[in-house]
Structure 1
């Protein structure tokens, strides 16, 4: 085989292997260095650049057994005997996502230990498992967004072989896998890419550091081939693309369009759907519009606006970026239109923001949630809404999330109202970096008015341990955790049973809110159909006497017993801090006329 590395910057590159003599590599005109060397699986190797005595890891390393500062190890991606030959994939449309962090999902914190909990997700009714980033980073534990070697699976999680076992186990249970990938920046420790070539733009920075140099064709190739690696070699069903607004690209063919084109081609070849989901702060529907009309053709994008509207409705918090979402009408707008800021003034940004979504876009192209890793972990104390809201209000949150017209996502543990926080944690081995991270975190929240005493030290191992799920909670036979878990199961069963709840037409969802009474009503389904689904959420304390224009039956309630619905002139009492899902039959015009005549 030929060992290759793209390194246009050094004048000399040597391949170094333990117990072997250094081998000089030959430089091609394209900046690629090559050496005809046979590497067996597990063989360690690295590259010595110019006169440096230290060997650096392979930028395309598949495995880093001793960390990101040490030698790479050859890995045979084709050695795994896949058992998913019958797997035909799962489309995002109609599905439910479950976001998890490998290190805190189970006490063991590995991909193999996560396999032991997959049956829980199947029983819950989940369709797609979304993993937070697993690529190699420095230290033992981290959220994953400090990765520096995009092609390697973090060794503490079990490395690439464990990753293949995990995907195989998911597919055996009918679960698709979405992998969160970070292509917009690199972490602060172990990033040697600039030593090899112009991977970054030194003069241009984003929120996390120097921008990725998308003007360089080989860097674009590095990014695209990494994305295809997960989909092709690891049988992943889709990617969540982190913070795509930080991908600065002025080329005629935007990198997101390029990714979508490659994913669609690979999907056609493999014969199964492949999804690309963008996290974007832009509120720009261009990301999910078809390429034929100038869009990028991505499968879906997150809608933080809908999260913000639900969060404010449930918690009453209106600080920072939540301020614009204070009226309950904000939830009605995001429910019926997707974005709140669709060209409107954003007080947090101090300018007009966003663009409206074309009603022809299917609603499932927006991924929404009441909690996720950012909205929990980036709070000062990393507290979940379960740590402040009542059980009844958490039940309403579940109904709002899982009956929305969008693709809903749950954050691990949300389904049982986990009492454990999910905090910001790091394990930087460099004392100065660890200290700077901790001090920066405290200063950031101090500027926002938070009490610095509640901000945990991200470098303290206890911060990481506190963030692990407590699986004794969902195992309880009764109590609030059991009731919330049962509610989520029933909600997802109703969602699967009722086609109105996966109807993708914006025109088939209407929403109304009474801010004074704190009442929200959503109707799902074709208004000309014989039956539609009505979702009622009473966020106030006064009971709500809700009426319907036809015979109705209750599909699910979160509160105490309700009055029986009268078929001819239905009325349902929705107690305070509760929600109900109701199927309402449409009265034909002739029947309505007869009722009036009578």
Structure 2
């Protein structure tokens, strides 16, 4: 039986060149399938096709029309591949012509991955309005900051109007309260005009609970495996070909129809697939095929906690072919080096020594024993360039998964904030910022949902309490269902004009300029790195070399002045940046030039020197 023509077509309602609607839905166990037209109340029967697909070509559907699917004599259900849920997850699907948008980004060329300076944002809290349209008005600010790639937290339709996005139930649909699919297209088009690449965070390891109808259409889920957040997606059990088609076509849709430049795939360690070809590898191969057709490169970035290079290894070498991965372990080592609590999974990390190891090896746990896990963990990451690893001093998870959602600005001193971001940018890895950190946002970023099911809402509250028990935290967590929890997580843009926030923002801008322009900092050869750690001083010295250029960074995590050595290779070292100086809201001035030998650096400071290597 040949069904290749179906597995290369997107599901849902799409329009052909003649303007007719092509309808396709996968329901392999149904005996009858109908599409119910919301405007006329007509019930059009779909035609059974091979392998459980149902299809129809019709003139009865037009953009903007509401519609439902009806399985046999059941209740009307939204389209599993709906592009727009104008009335939320419980309403009818709305016909949307995803090809109708008039793009103006024909000259846009995706940047090389090693050029990305990434800024993670949540559409609902990035602005007061919480829409794509409002976010577009902040693009000039991001350009001025030096950002050239933004990562948008998930926007697939979820229940209610506020959510982190990881409870989405319609992977093809764009959240109605953010503006819907056309607003996302407009936003991406605007980003490209400004020279900004767009990364979209997507979730292929589970679906949210409220409004989730996929299981009513077919075996999208399996009880062979379990995830912490819900039923596992069926990527390798009976009928999994139809499920794999659904998710592969979803990834291609974001690239092809929304001009997304890269996808960040959430928690891929929770994707269980023992097929001969892993679903990630299939997505990689299909993405490459799309690039061959369009000429536009697209990147695949994964979040995972396995310390397994198989994910970022090329497919021809037996890997899954992902372009890059997040490294939580760099964050954990950086956090404990700054003096923050070592509770929960942070207990596995030593101040200074773990951070120095992550600088050198990317993974802290690369085959060594983990006390937290009670077993050996990870593998060596040798031979992989630094741009395949993304690092950060904070992100949505490590802020929002704290009980009170405190940002770094509320946990460490102003001077330490500057040191932490300096530590990120001097690394041989790709940097990522979390919205608002660049001006020291003081509002928390807390976990929030808007489930309308009261029992589900209470289950979320109880689940948060259990999670924090592992960190031995006392007190009450903010109510994740409360609108107030959501509203107090919004950015306060007026802080940018106040001190010390303005000085911090200027410091970030300077650091980003150096990251983009200094040859030693744009080099992602991990072998061109030397790291020395001094645990008793709480100090790290990082050296980077490239193209005849040499930089030395002194990271003093202690609360006292510390002595460090500038290498003797050169006669003079030039100051490139010193976080302690008054220009950046500090109190200590560092001389413009220094000879090799001892130098005293201020407490909680990041000091960067440079020199041209003698030929």
TM surpasses 0.5: yes
Given that 2:578 and 2:608 are in contact with CA atoms closer than 8 Å, whether structure 1 keeps it comes out as: yes
Match of 1:263?
287
Q: CA deviation at 1:203?
A: 4.1
Could you tell me how far 1:452 is from its partner in structure 2? 3.1
SS in 2 for 1:301: strand
Displacement of 1:443 after TM fit? 2.9
**1:540 paired to 2:558:** yes
Give the counterpart of 1:461 among 483, 490, 500: 483
Q: Which moved more, 1:405-414 or 1:272-281?
A: 272-281
Instruction: Give, in whole Å, the separation in 2 of the partners of 1:35 and 1:264.
Output: 30
**Deviation, structure 1 residue 29:** 3.2
Q: State the 1:574 CA deviation.
A: 1.1
4+ residue runs of structure 1 moved beyond 6 angstroms? none
Distance across 1 between alignment mates of 2:56 and 2:275:
34
- Alignment counterpart, residue 214 of structure 2, candidates 183, 190, 193: 193
Residue number among 184, 189, 194 corresponding to 1:168 in the alignment: 189
Cα distance in structure 1, aligned partners of 2:594 and 2:57? 80
Quick check: 1:170–1:176 contact (8 Å CA) kept in 2? Answer: yes
Report what 1:42 is aligned to: 64
**Distance apart, 1:577 and its partner CA:** 1.0
**Cα distance change on mapping 1:236 and 1:566 into 2, 3 Å:** closer
Equivalent of residue 367 in structure 2, options 338, 343, 351 = 343
For the pair 1:145 / 2:199, whether they are aligned, the reply is: no
| Counterpart secondary structure, 2:610 | strand
Q: Secondary structure at the match of 1:287?
A: coil
Separation in 1, partners of 2:120, 2:385: 22
Q: 1:212 is matched with which residue: 214, 233, 257?
A: 233
C-alpha distance in structure 2 between counterparts of 1:2 and 1:585, whole Å: 62
- Aligned residue among 16, 25, 28 for 2:46: 25
Instruction: Give the aligned partner of residue 28 of structure 2.
Output: 8
CA RMSD, aligned part only? Answer: 1.5
Partner of residue 558, structure 1: 579
Contact 2:148 2:196 (C-alpha < 8 Å) held by counterparts: yes
Question: 5+ residue gaps in structure 2?
Answer: 1-20, 582-587
Structure 1 residues 196-238: Cα deviation after superposition (integer angstroms, max 9, x where no partner):
1110003421111111000211111111100010011000000
Q: Using a 3 Å threshold, how does the CA distance of structure 1 residues 36 and 264 change in structure 2: closer, same or farther?
A: closer
Counterpart-to-counterpart distance in 1, 2:595 and 2:507: 29
In the superposition, relative to structure 1, how do residues 446 and 569 fare at CA in structure 2: closer, same or farther (>3 Å)? closer
TM-aligned CA deviation for residue 407 of structure 1: 0.5
Report the CA distance between 1:20 and its aligned residue. Answer: 3.3
> How is 1:45-444 mapped onto 2 (pairs within 5 angstroms)?
45-52=67-74, 54-215=75-236, 216-358=240-382, 360-444=383-467
Question: Could you tell me whether the CA contact under 8 Å between 1:91 and 1:274 is conserved in 2?
Answer: no
How far is 1:450 from its partner?
1.0
The corresponding residue for 2:536 is 516
SS of structure 1 residue aligned to 2:115: coil
Q: Which segment is superposed worse, 281-290 or 535-544?
A: 535-544
In 1, are the aligned partners of 2:578 and 2:590 still within 8 Å (CA)?
A: no
Q: Secondary structure at the match of 2:103?
A: coil
CA deviation after TM superposition for structure 1 residue 571, in Å: 4.5
Match of 2:496 in 1: 474
8 Å CA contact retained: 1:14, 1:24: yes
Residue aligned with 1:139, SS = coil
Q: What is the distance in 2 between the residues matched to 1:530 and 1:562?
A: 28
Query: 1:505 matched to which residue of 2?
Result: 525
Structure 1 counterpart SS, 2:346: helix
Give deviations 1:73-107, integer Å, cap 9, x for gaps.
11011111111011011121132110000000000
Q: Structure 1 190/563 Cα, relative in aligned 2: closer, same or farther at 3 Å?
A: closer
Q: Is the 8 A contact 1:267 1:274 kept in 2?
A: yes
Question: Separation in 2 of the partners of 1:37 and 1:7?
Answer: 19
Answer yes or no: is the 8 Å Cα contact 1:111–1:163 preserved in 2: yes
Q: Distance in 2 between matches of 1:327 and 1:430?
A: 44
The TM-score with structure 2 as length reference comes to 0.92
| Kept after mapping to 1: 8 A contact 2:343/2:471 | no
Secondary structure at 1:108 match in 2? coil
1:593 is aligned to none
**Which shows bigger deviation, 106-115 or 438-447?**
438-447
> Does structure 2 conserve the Cα–Cα contact (< 8 Å) formed by 1:552 and 1:585?
no
Equivalent-residue separation in structure 2 for 1:111 and 1:566 (angstroms): 47
What is the TM-score normalised by the length of structure 1?
0.95
Asked if the contact 1:200–1:211 (Cα under 8 Å) also holds between the matched residues in 2, the reply is: yes
- Structure 1 residue 63 displacement after superposition: 0.6
Measure how far apart 1:26 and its partner are: 2.0
Cα gap change, 1:35 to 1:486, in 2 (>3 Å): same
Distance change >3 Å, CA 321–CA 447, structure 1 → 2: closer
Q: Report SS of the residue matched to 1:46.
A: strand
Residue pair 1:564, 1:572 contacting (<8 A) in 2 also: no
Moved more, 276-285 or 495-504: 495-504
* TM-superposed deviation, 1:325: 1.3
Deviations 1:172-192 (A, max 9, x none): 000000000001101011111
Stretch deviating more after TM superposition (156-165 or 310-319): 310-319
Size of the aligned set, in residue pairs, is 581
The superposition leaves residues 332-360 of structure 1 with CA deviations (integer Å, 9 ceiling, x where unpaired) of: 100011000001111221111111112x2
Distance 2:300 2:278 in 1: 15
Structure-1 residue corresponding to 2:585: none
For residues 562 and 530 of structure 1, what CA distance do their matches in structure 2 show?
28
Q: Deviations over 1:453-508 (max 9, x none)?
A: 2x1010111000010011111133xx111111010000001111201112111111
In structure 2, the residue corresponding to 1:457 is in which secondary structure? coil
> Take 1:582 and 1:2, find their aligned partners in 2: how far apart are those partners?
61
Cα drift, residue 330 of structure 1: 0.6
| Structure 2 CA distance for aligned equivalents of residues 388 and 235 of structure 1 | 38
Greater Cα shift, 3-12 or 556-565: 556-565
- Which 10-residue stretch deviates more, 506-515 or 13-22? 13-22
SS of 1:205's equivalent?
A: strand
